[in-house]
Amino acid sequence: MPTWNISLQNSNSPMMEQLTFFHDHMMMFLILITSIVGYLIINSTTNSLKNRFILQSQEMEFIWTIIPAIILISIAFPSLRLLYLMEETLKPLMTMKILGHQWYWSYEYPDFNNHTIDSYMIPLTEPKQIRLLDVDNRMIIPMSTQIRLLISSNDVIHSWTIPSLGIKVDAVPGRLNQLLTTVKRPSILYGQCSEICGANHSFMPIVLESINMKSFKKWISNI
């Protein structure tokens, strides 16, 4: 089924696909409610006639109580389902540690000799780069692999965000936040810190590159 994708990036993970479907589900109800309420407002302001059976009607009271309740239930169950899907359901095959700094990110591979890389934004003077989004060292992960992300901060509160994966996690000093994600296909995904963390808050982008497992093993063995 095609999706509306209004103000949303193309999804690249199962969770983001579910969030997109839930967005479309909500938009369907919002448009329906807005249309009906708008029609009733216009009709009541342009019509001077009154019906004494509508002014005190038990049937009308019953209808406008039951219909909103049904709509709320139709919204609540998909929302609760998404919350449970976000929890840990599968055993991760790989773990990544993400640490926020003022103002860059560091990525550690604990399953591969704790190798750590620092990811800084490429200076604006460098040619052939996406302004405020390119970095010198990307976070490399294998695609179609369940990955556990452990996110924290070394100084102030940051927020590690990649919209196309449906990820937005606060990096809080002294606290370890955890989530699971899977990238479905080879891609380069961009994000930014989404928590105002100081003077250079706008200059600590996130770049995640997903590659096939064979290429990942070759890359990790050469660093």
181 close to 147: Cβ distance less than 8 angstroms: yes
At 206 the pLDDT is 93
List, as own/partner pairs, every contact residues 121-130 make where C-beta atoms lie below 8 angstroms and the sequence separation is at least 24, other chains included.
121/203, 121/204, 121/205, 130/190
- Mean of pLDDT values over 160-182: 90
Q: Where are the alpha helices (DSSP H) in the chain?
A: 14-46, 52-55, 58-85, 213-221
Q: Where are the domains of the chain?
A: 14-46+57-87, 94-221
- Mean of pLDDT values over 45-54: 70
- Mean of pLDDT values over 170-199: 90
pLDDT per residue over 5-26, tens digit each? 567 777 888 888 888 888 888 8
Q: What is the pTM (predicted TM-score) of this model?
A: 0.77
What is the CA angle 90-95-99, rounded to 5?
130
Give the confidence band of 54 by pLDDT, cuts at 50, 70, 90: low
Higher pLDDT, 201 or 131: 201
* Half-sphere exposure for 65 (CA within 13 Å, toward CB): 6
At 159 the pLDDT is 94
Q: What is the DSSP string of 29-70?
A: HHHHHHHHHHHHHHHHHH-----HHHHT-HHHHHHHHHHHHH
User: Sign of the CA dihedral 11, 15, 17, 21?
Assistant: negative
What's the CATH number for 94-221?
2.60.40.420
Evaluate if residue 48 carries a pLDDT over 80.
Answer: no
Q: Which of 172, 170, 175 is nearest to 155 (CA)?
A: 172
Residue 135, classified by CB atoms within 10 Å of its CB into exposed (0-12), middle (13-18) or buried (19+), is buried
Q: How far apart are CA 64 and CA 38, in angstroms?
A: 16
At 1 the pLDDT is 40
Cα dihedral 123/169/215/90 (nearest 10): 180
